[in-house]
A and B are shown apart, each in its own frame.
Chain A
Amino acid sequence: MSILSYNGGCVLAMKGKGCVAIASDRRFGVQTSTLAMDFQRIFEMGPHLYIGLPGLATDTLTVHERLRFRLNLYELRESRKIKPQTFSAMVSNLLYERRFGPYFVEPVIAGLDPVTWEPFISAMDLIGCPNMPEDFVVAGTCAEQLFGMCEALWEPNLEPDDLFETISQALMNAFDRDAISGWGGVVHIIEKDKVTTRMLKTRMD
């Protein structure tokens, strides 16, 4: 029994042309038992900044609460919205503070720079090692499946509507091959002027 696969769940994020997308499944379960199909793993941390926290559900909630606290203080002190790169560093710091008793979450961050609107994605492991690639990031119990799907489907400079199709297919086909992920999906497409949130109609098993 691995702690990171106790509750199940997955998150992925992709870069597009002037936009980013972040998506997750909606299952909450305790090992083989499914208890909820509307569990929120992706949280809005700013108008164009979202973080997904797959892993142990209690730490998903706790890390979100602690991060919201730090972010609120930052925005009060700085009187401006945080940049995604800075936020990523903040998350990394929060996790590494608990290096020898970590939070069991593997965050995925997606956002647009509030000034330049540059797309940004990043992911990290449970002790905060950041990874900021140019294409996509994945995390969760079906990470391997997500890697395969993203590698096959992603291409650079996808428009928002195409990015939505790509990320949805990557998510659904990956979590359909994982027993403890799935039970619904949610996708956020973050563009300069709007964020579109869509629920996916998926196999509910």
Chain B
Amino acid sequence: MECVLGIACNDFVILASDMTNAHSILVNKQDEDKMFKLSDRLLMAVTGESGDTTQFAEYIEKNIQLYKMRNGYELSPPAAANFTRRNLADSLRSRSPYMVNFLLAGYSERTGPELYWMDYLASMIKTPFATHGYGGMFSIGIMDRYYRPDLTEQEAYDIMKKCVAEIQKRLIINLPNFQVKVLDKNGIHALDVIRSQNLTA
């Protein structure tokens, strides 16, 4: 029932994720942070089995940091993405696989901003925009329509708002808040949370 959205443009990657934490019919909180900062230049928005998400994301985060400590430089986004995929693929045929779907955003001077989509089976694609979840199914068409590689940050945020408006209109499950973070050459910064009351105003 969770939803993550991501758009990669020429200068930045923008990720949005819903903030609802629920167990079956009960909503625990509406301000959950589902994005994990793997490093200054890597951001991961994770959905999936409760517990697996945090465990897997933190495991990857610590290993990324360990590599940096051991070698003195960080893993590039493609290397980090492939490392993550390898871990997920190895866990797939183990006794208890991780049930996580996520978007990995990375920025490096050499390659620029990149967005990787990965599902629980460890299929991976590098793509200009991507989504996960039922909400994602509504959003991907909107991104197809409005995406351009040279979008400004404000324009990309507006596309995210359009997507969230559609999700809140058409998805039966209530997802009132969406957290938005941007990753660019200066690092990660958060934009305003998209809230349902702000959209209708």
Contacts and interface: CB of A to CB of B under 8 A. Distances in A.
A and B found bound together = yes
B89 A101 contact: no
B92 interface: yes
Interface residues of B, number: 16
Given A33-B137, A35-B130, A58 B125 contact: no
Interface residues of A, number: 14
Contact of B125 (A33, A35, A62, A101): A35
Interface of A is mostly: mixed
B117 A58 contact: no
A61 B130 contact: no
A30 interface: yes
A39 interface: yes
Interface of A: 7, 28, 30, 33, 35-36, 39, 56-58, 61-62, 65, 101
Given A58-B92, A61-B89, A35 B127 contact: yes
Contacts of B86: 65
Nearest to B89: A62
A7 B119 CA distance: 12
Interface of B: 85-86, 89, 92-93, 117, 119, 121-125, 127, 130, 137, 140
Contacts of A65: 86
Given A58-B92, A61-B89, A62-B89, A36 B125 contact: yes
Contact of A58 (B89, B130, B137, B140): B89
A39 B93 CA distance: 23
A39 B117 CA distance: 12
Contacts of B137: 33
Considering residues A30, A35, A65, A101, which has the most beta carbons from chain B within 10 angstroms of its beta carbon? A35
23 contacts: A7-B123, A28-B123, A28-B125, A30-B119, A33-B137, A35-B117, A35-B125, A35-B127, A35-B140, A36-B125, A39-B125, A57-B121, A58-B89, A58-B92, A58-B122, A58-B123, A61-B85, A61-B89, A61-B122, A61-B123, A61-B124, A62-B122, A101-B93
B136 to A, nearest CB: 9
A57 B93 contact: no
B29 to A, nearest CB: 29
B127 A36 contact: yes
